Amino acid sequence: MLPTLRTTAVTTSVGALCALALAAPALAAGEEPSASAPATPTASADPSPGGRAVISTPTPDGNSVSWRLLSADGDDAAFHVYRDGVRVPGPPVRGATTFLDRGAPADARYAVLAVGDGAARAAAAGPVAGESLTLEPVAGAQASSLDVPLDVPPGGDGYTYSANDASVGDLDGDGEYEIVLKWDPSNAKDNSQSGVTGNVYLDAYELDGERLWRVDLGRNIRAGAHYTQFQVYDYDGDGAAEVAVKTGDGTVSGTGQVIGDADADHRNSGGYVLSGPEFLSVFRGTDGAELDTVDFAPVRGNVGDWGDTYGNRVDRFLAGTAYLDGSRPSIVMGRGYYAKTAVAAWDFRDGALTRRWTFDSSSSTNGPDWTGRGNHQLSIADVDGDGRDEILYGSMAIDDNGHGLWQNGTHHGDAYHVSDLVPSNPGLEVFKPSESGTDPAHWVADAATGEILSSAPAAGSDNGRGVAADITADNPGAEVWSSRVSGLRSATDGSEVGRKPGSTNFVIWWDGDGQRELLDDTHIDSYGADGDTRLLTGEGVASNNGTKATPALQADILGDWREEVLWRTTDSSALRIYSTDVPTDIAHPSLMEDRQYRLAVAWQNTAYNQPPHPSFATVD
């Protein structure tokens, strides 16, 4: 049950709450510390904005308010709540960062202030105050939503635009997230399909719908799921995120700068771009200005080296962000996975891009054993516990220094999950289904060595979908399931532990317990032994990427530790953010403070999108 709060005549402006943090009263003698101690995140640097992301939803009983818990708040976290600048009386709120403000007006605005020892820690960590967002209750579900209005680009000859993949970053350094959104034309193509496409655009939006800028990638960047993988992250450590993306001749920045030759057109008769320069650009988060552009690596080279000669496999791109030195983030750009595989790491420091290293499966250092191992996605994690991230690339891993760490002899697949899936095995594990009919249908491996810990027999055909997550408390650790393997399986030993879930797509923390729920297309379900239970059906919204049916984004961006889901409205006039209103007793820092999770949100838009996983499987 949410704590009930009433008003007292203690007033201050919302803007003064940060200053109050320095002088907040200590907890009274005899007050008990929080019963739910927040877990310590694994990040070696703070990858999350320090704001509270306060949200309020009007209900028949009052306003349901939720906010972000930070690891800096400590185990004894407690908060005073302010409504319209007036402090709500009673003891500080402890435990789960949610409460019910009975009788409050629906349009009330909220802020929260840490008290006691947590106040000094929070103040030292930076600004934490800010005005709340008001969400609308969703009829028939314990959920609320917020529409972010969008500016749909004008279409062209026979095509229109739809909002596609999104990411978030603190673009202006205000302590809260903004949205970066990719617009795809209706004539976008899979790499296997010929045809000219419309231009791809990247927009940045405040949550109130204010468009900050638009980047036009131009005619020499083809539209489709495998071509444009964009990264949103603070690479130079100035407190505001940048956007890194592959560009070409004619790309136009958010401030009108033209990259390369504005008049060049490198498209061939099939619509493929197999000649001309390729670039990597970094754009400023506040206005989309180009900060630096360099020649793209991994380089195209000979088109036929990548698995065909007509332009399909040469332009299969992946992207991520990794702390390769353990303290500062680097940009990771991958190319190819069916045959030749190459990955380049880039640093953006002091306004300039420099290449850190390149991994190439065709080099004498690596050789043919490293070809054909990649997936339609990657993952980033510190698999060997040295504080530096590795790149998990399908059936292989690349060490933080650019050297091959392991490959386990299996091949390409279409889904990928990395987390602490097996409690009895130290460290992290990888789960992957196989496209090859002679490989194990799916497998769980040690993420540090690639050693397969459990697997399912070869299916004889493509096992196109698979998921790993803790979705039931009845089995220790995570469970795995895939298209061509019966039942729900234990990640630990592969034994069958229940019926197969009704969907094999995304998973999300939505209800109040520590296990994840099922997210597919535009609905969320809870797994049960006898069947799935519908928790939310998005109305007037659509999923992306065809049969993949993925959201624009899934991430913990508002309120407490549970995740939000962003779907485009059917006409792409808005992104609709859904947040859970299900009560919880769990107090946990924002998932975005777990470095692996934050980096997963950054790479989520890559090719065949996958849900973000933290370095742990269960929240408790």
The per-residue pLDDT for 30 is: 30
Q: Is residue 494 part of a domain?
A: no
Backbone phi, then psi, for 125, in 5-degree steps?
-80, -15
Which residues make Cβ contacts (< 8 Å) with residue 579, sequence separation at least 6?
55, 57, 66, 135, 143, 144, 145, 146, 558, 559, 562, 564
Residue for token digits 């673009």?
A: 171
What tokens does 370 get?
């490293």
The per-residue pLDDT for 129 is: 47
| CA–CA dist 96, 580 (Å, integer) | 14
Model confidence at 140: pLDDT above 50: yes
Which residues span the domain enclosing 510? 147-407+501-603
Same domain, 518 and 586: yes
Question: In the predicted model, what is the mean pLDDT of residues 223-251?
Answer: 97
Which of 134, 165, 189 terminates a domain? The answer is: 134
| CA–CA dist 279, 435 (Å, integer) | 32
Same domain, 157 and 125: no
Which of 134, 155, 187 terminates a domain? The answer is: 134
Which residues make Cβ contacts (< 8 Å) with residue 210, sequence separation at least 6?
none
CATH number at residue 195: 2.120.10
Strand partners, 466: 482
pLDDT tens sequence across 174-193: 989 999 999 999 999 999 99
| CA–CA dist 514, 516 (Å, integer) | 7
Q: Is residue 75 part of a domain?
A: yes
The per-residue pLDDT for 484 is: 97
The per-residue pLDDT for 84 is: 94
Angle at the Cα of 491 from the Cα atoms of 488 and 497, rounded to 5 degrees = 35
Q: Is residue 573 part of a domain?
A: yes
What tokens does 230 get?
């964009």
Cis before residue 298, ω within 30 degrees of 0? Answer: yes
Looking at this protein, which amino acid is placed at residue 399?
D
Same domain, 259 and 161: yes
| 518-to-203, 218, 492, 534, 583 alpha-carbon distances in Å | 29, 37, 21, 9, 18
Beta strands in 117-240 (DSSP E): 133-134, 136-137, 143-149, 161-169, 178-185, 201-205, 211-216, 231-233
* Averaged confidence pLDDT in the chain: 91
Question: In the predicted model, what is the mean pLDDT of residues 395-424?
Answer: 97
Same domain, 163 and 301: yes
pLDDT tens sequence across 70-89: 999 998 999 999 999 999 98
| CA–CA dist 515, 264 (Å, integer) | 52
Which residues make Cβ contacts (< 8 Å) with residue 239, sequence separation at least 6?
170, 173
pLDDT band at 620 (very low <50, low <70, confident <90, very high): confident
Question: In the predicted model, what is the mean pLDDT of residues 422-445?
Answer: 97
Q: Is residue 105 part of a domain?
A: yes
Model confidence at 64: pLDDT above 50: yes
pLDDT tens sequence across 537-546: 999 999 999 9
Strands 178-185 and 161-169 come out as antiparallel
| 492-to-130, 351, 385, 411, 513 alpha-carbon distances in Å | 44, 46, 21, 22, 22
- H or E segment to which residue 122 belongs: helix 117-125
pLDDT tens sequence across 565-575: 999 999 999 99
Q: Is residue 266 part of a domain?
A: yes
Same domain, 319 and 170: yes
Question: In the predicted model, what is the mean pLDDT of residues 234-242?
Answer: 96
Same domain, 124 and 154: no
The per-residue pLDDT for 29 is: 28
pLDDT band at 44 (very low <50, low <70, confident <90, very high): very low
Same domain, 194 and 265: yes
Which of 134, 164, 193 terminates a domain? The answer is: 134
The per-residue pLDDT for 49 is: 76
| CA–CA dist 90, 69 (Å, integer) | 20
| CA–CA dist 396, 408 (Å, integer) | 7
What's the whole-model pTM score? Answer: 0.92
The per-residue pLDDT for 207 is: 97
pLDDT band at 38 (very low <50, low <70, confident <90, very high): very low
Question: Could you tell me which of 481, 393, 373 has the C-alpha nearest to residue 435?
Answer: 373
CATH number at residue 82: 2.60.40.10
**Range in 45-54, 353-362, 425-434, 523-532 with the lowest mean pLDDT:** 45-54
Model confidence at 43: pLDDT above 70: no
Contact criterion met (CB below 8 Å) for 388 and 405:
no
Model confidence at 440: pLDDT above 50: yes
Same domain, 128 and 152: no
Same domain, 316 and 219: yes
Same domain, 163 and 210: yes
pLDDT tens sequence across 257-309: 999 999 999 999 999 999 999 999 999 999 999 999 999 999 999 999 999 99
Model confidence at 10: pLDDT above 70: no
Q: How many CB atoms lie within 10 A of CB 349?
A: 12
Number of domains in the chain: 2
Q: Is residue 482 part of a domain?
A: no
Q: Is residue 592 part of a domain?
A: yes
Q: What percent of the chain has pLDDT over 70?
A: 90
Contact criterion met (CB below 8 Å) for 389 and 323:
yes
Question: In the predicted model, what is the mean pLDDT of residues 245-256?
Answer: 98
Question: Could you tell me which of 356, 364, 306 has the C-alpha nearest to residue 332?
Answer: 356
Secondary structure percentages of the chain, helix, strand, coil, to 5: 5, 35, 60
Model confidence at 352: pLDDT above 90: yes
Q: Is residue 295 part of a domain?
A: yes
pLDDT band at 118 (very low <50, low <70, confident <90, very high): low
Same domain, 192 and 289: yes
Model confidence at 426: pLDDT above 90: yes
Higher pLDDT: 349 or 28? It is 349
The per-residue pLDDT for 311 is: 96
pLDDT band at 391 (very low <50, low <70, confident <90, very high): very high
pLDDT tens sequence across 552-604: 999 999 999 999 999 999 999 999 999 999 999 999 999 999 999 999 999 99
Same domain, 215 and 73: no
pLDDT band at 131 (very low <50, low <70, confident <90, very high): confident
